[in-house]
Amino acid sequence: MVKIGLFICDCGGTLTKNLNFDELVSWAEKSGRFAFVVRGSDLCDESGLKELEAKVKKDGVERVVVAACSPKVKGEELARSVEAAGLSRYSMVVANIREQCAWAHPSQLKEATVKAKALINAAASRAEKIEEVPVRAIPISQRALVIGGGISGITAAQELAELGFEVTIVERQPTLGGLCLKLGTVFPTDDCSLCVRTTACPALGGDSTRKCIYRAAIEVDPRIQVMTNAEVVKVSGEVGNFAVTVKRKPRYVSDACINCGACADVCPVSVRDEFNLGLSERKAIYLPFPQAIPPIYVIDPENCKFKECAKCVDACPVNAINLDEKEEEVVVNVGTIIVATGFEEYEPRRLVDYGYGKLPDVVTQVELARLLDITGPTGGRLVRISDGRPVERIVMIQCAGSRDEKHNFYCSNICCMIALKHALMIKRRFPEVDVVIAYMDIRPVGSRYEEYYREARELGVTFVRGKPACIVPEEDGKLVVDVENTLTGEFNRIKADMVALSMSMVPSKGTQELARILGVKLGPDGYIETLDRKVRPAETNVAGIFVAGAAMMPMDIPYSIAHASAAAIMAARLMKKGEIEKPLLTAVVNEETCGKCMVCQWACPFKAIAVVEGEAARVTEAKCFGCGLCAGACPTESIELRNHTDEQIAATIEGLASDGVKPNIVAIACYECGYSAVDYAGMLGLEYPANVKTMEVPCTAVVDPQEILKALMNGVDGVLIVGCFEGRCHFDKGVRAIGAKVALLKAMLKQLGINPQKLQVVNVDCAEADKFVNAAKQIVSQLQ
Amino acid sequence: MVETYHEINSRFRRELAELHEEGETLNFCYQCATCSGICPVFRYNPKYNPRKLVEGMLTGRKEELIHDPNIWLCTVCHNCTEVCPQGVRVSELLAVLRNLATKAGNVPEHLKAEVKVLLETGLVNAPSKVTVSRRAKMGLPELKTADPAEIRALLEHLGFVKLTAKEGKAVKEESGGGGQQ
Amino acid sequence: MVAGNSSGYAMFLGCVIPNLLPHLEISIRKVFGKLDVEVKDVAGFSCCPEPIGTPGLDITTWVTLAARNLCVAEEAGLDIVTFCNGCFETLKEAKVLLEHDAKLRSKVAEALSKVGREYRGRVEVKHFAQVLYNDIGPAKLRSYVERPLKGVKVAAHYGCHILRPSHLLQVDDPFNPVLLDALVEATGAESVDYFRKFLCCGCGVGNLDEATNVKMVMEKLHYMTQAKADCMAVLCPVCFRQYDVRQMIINKTYGKDYNIPVFYYTQLLGLAMGMTPDELELKSNRTKVDPLLAKLNGGK
């Protein structure tokens, strides 16, 4: 027999109004289940906690049952006292006789007292079965990987470096900078797009509010390793120790390059520079742009003649060029990963009626940014691409591919501001140019962004409310934009020299493949889904992998930087202790009975369990959240959740049913919104029948159908599942999993001739106490 | 001074949603004007504006719409339905609206004439003597079309004959509220 | 393919071709006579009925008459091939609506029972362009071509009711269709891209607003001319009339000089298959096709 000590607290005497404590204590003493019974009134204050500690120590009990308020209220303090007494914190079980008993049944003194006994019995039964929980220390590498070297990736890397970690940045392009490189001027400051925050580096002018990317000492920071022209191709391992395989495409120029340009001078191959819409030329060996980081030339292998020519090799004064360089794969070991792969414009050719690709003067906003950039192909002059004539009128089309069920259903967030920024740049520099913006809604949402809209009106930008249907060319080379101005109800044919499409923004090419490699979840928009869309904005579903910036949603620079900082903090928080200390309240696989069917792998929202190469399912403890979805889904009953085993759940149910009331109802609540809603009902004094007795599990999906059937056969009249509402399950798909199981079970019950109403589900938000109370009343009345 | 205002109500949109399987798509309209921008009729004739029709359906302008002869201007090219970024079945909804207009006696003359030929021959372009001889000259076979009596019987049964015989604004339906007050 | 129906199709010619444009029927019969697909005359079809006015009067009536036509083909054990976009939309859409909408299905069934018919939903409806493109295929079609229309620039005009509403008709991508362009290229001609390719012929508005109809036709002819098209190819007799007859009227009435010969697709294919203009009754086309024929002969 396990030695259990019981503490009953009447909460400063207040609970005696609703519960007969004398009867409760004498019942407990006579039950023979407890080595001692202590009645207290202030168990949770300092002296009460000390007394508990002393009593546990003195009497040498192995388990502690506390009958008091909800464990969500004082559970942590009580657990610390139990620990101080030398026991594991998991040796304690709380019987919630306040929120879920005394407060919930104020007019049922007798019934509530009976229920309290059942709650204590259940806690004692659970305490008997409870196991030790081992704690594992997982060493965590002090290096982080940042995938993507745009503004978000750079920011995250700088932050982590400042926080004392080593960082590797992997960037697909030959230079850092990302989409920002092409933008020239950006909102909300109307200045250069290439500022980043500083890392203090006295040689470069010390600390200041910001620095140009090339003066920010990123590539020379000893803590930051920059790998450009590189892609992540494989990731193995888990949080703490990921082994990341990076494919490095040859650059053909080593870091001995002194950026003198002698190679490009002699290079005979000129090609159109895609960076500038093909309007300017570059050589086959080139510097992607003047402030490129690293400041090293690169050879474009599609156009270079290599050994046939090799003039650059001779011209290079520092012998930095190696035409034999090969692609290579390197493995980087990191503790955490930050995905900062950003976004790009949606393919404008998909909007067939706008004629992009057929009409050279139809451009995207990013292309317009190149035209307006003084270092761009036209030196910042706004001229037509088709014939070089100055633009007299430009029309901008908003929501091009956004908010459209046929293209991208979402609002792309930043296109209104990009258009307003460009409209202002044009009006300030070329007041004679007519700017027309065709829009559905103008959404300049951000700190002082509305000022852009106001100034645009002030400077004479024309706003036409309507979405253009098509663009056609006129004989004189002008374009005509057909649109209804919905505010006048007139059909407009707007003649223009140039049309800029404010394209929808989509995740960068390769996001899907990278997500597959990393195991991270994508949202319906194709962007990386965060662990929780409300409160975990920088974490993914995979432990140790974070998301920064526009890889998560279309985001402007200020938001990207804030988001990247958040991601860096999340990663640092994990890495800072050098190891992750994790109590293993995790799934445990019985390797002998595992059928290797992979259902668990499918059920796990966190990619924490997998069947690999015909071996029994393996749990990656570092990733496991202990939700039990795998245990509930396993068809061969080969997975148990530590301390929520079938045996422990059955014992608890048996204890709850021991009072023999009719109808005897057990509510199984998830320990998230479900249990909180039950607590909340008590806090609000919303009364429900004392026949309903609640127990908690991490997620209701952990419950096996067999356990429910067994309960119904052993004296339980009804089972009420209390879970979170669909879409807000704390473990992604637990609510759906239990919902499916319940539907199946109800069908089975019906076939067996058992009233299917014996099994019911209620899905609640933690504040929806009334919903739980109604469900409780309903199941009792239906089964009466 | 007469005050003119329209009282917005949602009865009409619910009615339309009931009348067509895809009628509920109406609710997604956010008045972007892609339909009116692509509409080949609106481009040349401002009396027909599909966006405004949908707006009228959404805000309950039933009486106004079912008695408007301009709803028959639509050329039924379905471009509006095709380009709608929100999946509103604009042209299908227009057909439902026209059905209500027909019940109210709002049918254009050319369609009345078409119906007359249909009721007589089962076709909308019936063979004339010239056609028959021209076909024969070209060596084309004689046409064996449906028995007009069967078609007529079917149309009688469907109530189509009675429906299309209605004149003018014979039927005054319950107003969805509003209109000019 | 729908199980149970024998090979070959019931020809659904509609009202326009046989009565107003019999010369198109000539080209249909001659071309299909040489191809590996059997099209059969079936007695008892009524008007499809046309998809512009009829559904506006009463959707149920429109679908019921269409369902009756489907019954006629069903009784003959044949799938339907249509030669007019309007007939195609009506029959195909009726079929789809009857599959989806139970309320409509029971109303239609009840009406059909009054004339002793029952619709079982076993007939497939195809546009002849689909038969050419899917059953025969552009590659095989090319093998029938004896006189490739080399150097001829054709503006393909799909028309509305073969493509839209695409969610019901499911024929081709409504924004990037390939069907007719591929069929045009199969004749050896070049399908030229032009703006406003999906503009409607305007037939539906013509009865009430002639001016708008005329402007729509002119707009289309304008962009075809801009693209330097030698002629246009259409899949629908109604579109054919719009461009063929109206073009002539527009040139006379508005002093315009559009010169885009209009070919119903089987006319164009017939030429490529080596049939003579006389065999195909091309002299009945109102826009003169001679310049194109001259170009073809000159190009030899």
pLDDT at C100 over 70: yes
Residues from chain A contacting residue B52 (CB–CB below 8 Å): 489
Report the distance separating Cα C228 and Cα C215, nearest Å.
20
- Domain with residue C283: its CATH number is 3.40.50.11810
The residues in A 409-468 lying below 8 A from B, measured between CB atoms, are 440, 465-468
| C61 contacts on B by Cβ (under 8 Å) | 155, 158, 160
- The answer to whether position C1 is within a domain reads no
Contacting residues for A36 by C-beta, under 8 A, at least 6 apart: A5, A6, A55, A59, A61
Chains touching chain B through at least 3 C-beta pairs below 8 angstroms are A, C
Exposed e or buried b for every residue in A726-739, given b needs 16+ CB within 10 A? eebbbbbbbbebbb
| Ramachandran category for residue C260: left, alpha or beta (phi over 0 → left; psi -120 to 50 → alpha) | beta
A470:C196 CB<8 A? yes
- Backbone torsions φ then ψ of C265, nearest 5 degrees: -55, -40
Let me know whether C271 and C168 are in one domain. yes
Residue B125 φ/ψ, nearest 5 degrees: -125, 100
Q: Is residue C4 part of a domain?
A: no
In this structure, are C233 and C258 located in the same domain? yes
Average pLDDT over residues A49-55: 96
Interface test with C, best of B35, B43, B75, B89 (most C CBs within 10 A): B75
Indicate yes or no: CB of C195 within 8 angstroms of CB of A355: yes
pLDDT in tens, A187-203: 999 998 888 887 656 56
Q: Tell me how far apart the terminal alpha carbons of chain A are, to the nearest angstrom.
A: 37
Tell me, yes or no, whether C212 lies in a domain: yes
Burial class (CB in 10 A: 0-12, 13-18, 19+), A296: buried
Tell me the backbone φ, ψ of residue A4, rounded to 5 degrees. -120, 135
Residue C2 maps to a domain: no
Of A358, A472, A475, the CB nearest to C196: A472
Q: Which of A403, A482, A486 sits opposite B43 (nearest CB)?
A: A482
Q: Chain-wide mean pLDDT for chain A?
A: 95
Asked if the Cβ–Cβ distance from C22 to B138 is below 8 Å, we say yes
Q: Of C80, C111, C128, which closes a domain?
A: C128
Inter-residue contact A551 to A508 (CB < 8 Å): yes
Domain stop point among C67, C97, C128? C128
Most distant CA pair in chain B, distance: 72
* B25–chain C nearest CA distance, Å: 13
Q: Where are the beta strands (DSSP E) in C59-202?
A: 79-82, 125-127, 153-157, 190-191
B38 and A469 within 8 Å at the Cβ level: the answer is: yes
User: Which of C50, C285, C7, B86 has the alpha carbon at shortest distance from A440?
Assistant: B86
Judge: B41–C212 Cβ closer than 8 Å, yes or no. Answer: yes
The answer to whether residue B166 scores a pLDDT higher than 80 is no
Domain identity same for C185 and C273: yes
Q: What angle do CA A331, A332, A333 make, to 5 degrees?
A: 120
User: Is the pLDDT confidence value at B180 over 80?
Assistant: no
pLDDT in tens, B111-136: 999 999 999 999 999 889 999 999 99
Write out the two tokens for A646. Answer: 């079938």
| Residues in contact with C157: Cβ distance below 8 Å, sequence separation at least 6, in sequence order | C180, C197, C201, C220, C232, C233, C234, C235, C239, C243
Asked if residues A493 and A521 have their Cβ atoms less than 8 Å apart, the reply is: no
Q: Does C3 fall in a domain?
A: no
Q: Does A470 touch chain C (CB under 8 A)?
A: yes
Mutate to test the interface with C, among A353, A404, A471 (most CBs of C within 10 A): A353
Query: Which chain C residues are closer than 8 Å to B43 by Cβ?
Result: 215
B177 has a pLDDT exceeding 70: no
For residue C5, the model assigns a pLDDT of: 60
Contact A489 B30 (CB under 8 A): no
**Chain C residues inside the 8 Å CB shell of B82:** 163-166, 174-175
CA A25 remoteness from chain centre: 48
Tell me the sheet residues that pair with A344.
Answer: A506
CA separation for the pair A40, A23 (Å, rounded) = 15
Percent of chain A residues past pLDDT 70, beyond the cut: 99
With CA atoms as reference, the chain B residue closest to A438 would be: B32
The CA distance from A676 to A672, in Å, is 6
- N-to-C CA span, chain C: 41
Nearest to B118 among C47, C166, C202 (CB): C47
Q: Based on the fold, state whether residues C161 and C105 are members of the same structural domain.
A: no
Residue B167: partners with Cβ closer than 8 Å, 6 or more residues away: B105
Q: Rounded to whole angstroms, how far apart are CA atoms A393 and A464?
A: 14
Nearest chain C residue (CA) to A406 = C175
Query: Does A220 contact C at CB distance below 8 Å?
Result: no
| Residue A308 DSSP label | G
B39 with A486: CB under 8 angstroms?
A: no
**Residue A96 in 3-state DSSP?**
strand
Domain region containing C218 = 137-296
With an 8 Å Cβ cutoff, are C164 and B79 in contact? yes
pLDDT tens string A110-139: 999 999 999 999 999 999 999 889 999 999
pLDDT at position C128 over 80: yes
Instruction: Note whether C193 contacts A358, CB cutoff 8 Å.
Output: yes
Do the Cβ atoms of A472 and C193 come within 8 Å?
no
Q: For residue range A304-349, what is the model confidence (pLDDT) as tens digits?
A: 999 999 999 999 999 999 999 999 999 999 999 999 999 999 999 9
> Which residues in chain C touch residue B138, judged by CB atoms under 8 angstroms apart?
22-23, 25-26, 281
Tell me whether residue C32 is in a domain. Answer: yes
Helix (H, G, I), strand (E, B) or coil at B131: helix
Could you read off the pLDDT of B74-111 as tens digits, one per residue? 999 999 999 999 999 999 999 999 999 999 999 999 99
Q: B–C: how many Cβ contacts below 8 A?
A: 182
**What pLDDT, on a 0 to 100 scale, did the predictor assign at position A199?**
63
Res. C300: pLDDT tops 70: no
Q: Which residues of A touch B36 (CB under 8 A)?
A: 466, 469, 484, 486, 491
Q: How far is CA A335 from the centre of its chain?
A: 18
Q: Is A386 helix (H, G, I), strand (E, B) or coil?
A: coil
CATH number, domain with residue C113: 1.20.1050.140
pLDDT band with cut points at 50, 70 and 90 for residue B170: very low
Least Cα separation, residue A419 to chain B (angstroms): 18
Whether A355 contacts chain B with CB within 8 A: no
Domains and CATH numbers, chain B: 11-103 (1.10.1060.10), 109-165 (no CATH)
Shortest CA gap A98–chain B (Å): 49
Q: Give chain C positions within 8 Å (CB) of A473.
A: 195, 226
**Which of C175, C176, C195 is closest, CB to CB, to A472?**
C195
Secondary structure of A202-230 in the HEC alphabet? HHHCCCCCCEEHHHCCCCCCCCEEEECCE
- Asked whether residue C196 falls in the same domain as residue C159, the answer is yes
Contacts of A475 in chain C (CB under 8 A): 226
Domain match, C145 and C287 both: yes
pLDDT tens-digit profile of A81-93? 999 999 999 999 9
Is there a single domain that holds both residue C144 and residue C69?
no
Looking at the 3D structure of chain C, how many domains does it have?
2
Residue A205 is predicted with a pLDDT of: 63
Task: Say if the Cβ atoms of A352 and C195 lie within 8 Å.
Answer: no
Whether residue B131 contacts residue C9, with contact meaning beta carbons closer than 8 Å, is answered with: no
- The answer to whether B138 contacts C281, with C-beta atoms less than 8 Å apart, is yes
More confident of the two residues B7 and A519: A519
Q: Do A484 and B42 count as a contact with CB atoms less than 8 A apart?
A: yes
The reply to whether A470 touches chain B by the CB within 8 Å rule is yes
C219 with C150, same domain: the answer is yes
> Which has the closest alpha carbon to A7: A93, A65, A76, A82?
A65
Q: What residues of chain B lie within 8 A of the CB of A395, using their CB?
A: none
Query: Quick one: C119 and C159 in the same domain?
Result: no
Would you say residue C70 has pLDDT above 60?
A: yes
Question: Which pLDDT does position B168 carry in this prediction?
Answer: 54
pLDDT band for A731, please (50, 70, 90 cuts): very high
Tell me the whole-structure pTM to 2 decimals. Answer: 0.92
With CA atoms as reference, report the closest residue to A766 among A725, A718, A709, A719. Answer: A725
- In one-letter notation, the amino acid at residue A119 is L
The alpha-carbon gap from A407 to the nearest alpha carbon of chain B, in Å, equals 8
* B163 neighbourhood in chain C, CB within 8 Å: 57-58
Domain boundary among C128, C158, C183: C128
Structure confidence at residue A208 as a pLDDT band (50, 70, 90)? confident
| pLDDT band, residue B2 (cuts 50/70/90) | low
Residue B74: closest C-alpha in chain C: C205
Say which residues have a Cβ less than 8 Å from residue B42's Cβ, sequence separation at least 6.
A484, A491, B36, B48, B49, B50
- The two structure tokens encoding residue A512: 């899907």
pLDDT of residue B172: 39
Q: Strand A166-170 and strand A224-227: pairing?
A: parallel
Of B31, B37, B42, the CB nearest to A468: B37
Q: Which residues have a Cβ under 8 Å from the Cβ of B162 and sit 6 or more positions away? A: none
pLDDT of res. A698: 96
Of residues A216 and C119, more confidently modeled: C119
The residue of chain A nearest to residue B52, with distances taken between CA atoms, is: A489
Q: Round to whole Å and give the CA distance between B98 and C181.
A: 35
Neighbours of chain C (3+ CB pairs under 8 A): A, B
Which of the four pLDDT bands, split at 50, 70 and 90, describes residue A206? low
Question: Same domain, yes or no, for C68 and C177?
Answer: no
Could you report the per-residue pLDDT of A239-263, keeping only the tens digit for each? Answer: 999 999 999 999 999 999 999 999 9
Q: Note whether C177 and C232 are same-domain residues.
A: yes
Interchain contact A468–C (C-beta under 8 A):
no
A207's tokens: 């600390």
A486 touches chain B (CB under 8 A): yes
Mark yes or no for CB contact A403/B33 under 8 Å.
no
Q: Are residues C210 and C228 in the same domain?
A: yes
Q: What is the mean pLDDT of residues C202-228?
A: 96
Number of A–B residue contacts, CB under 8 Å: 57
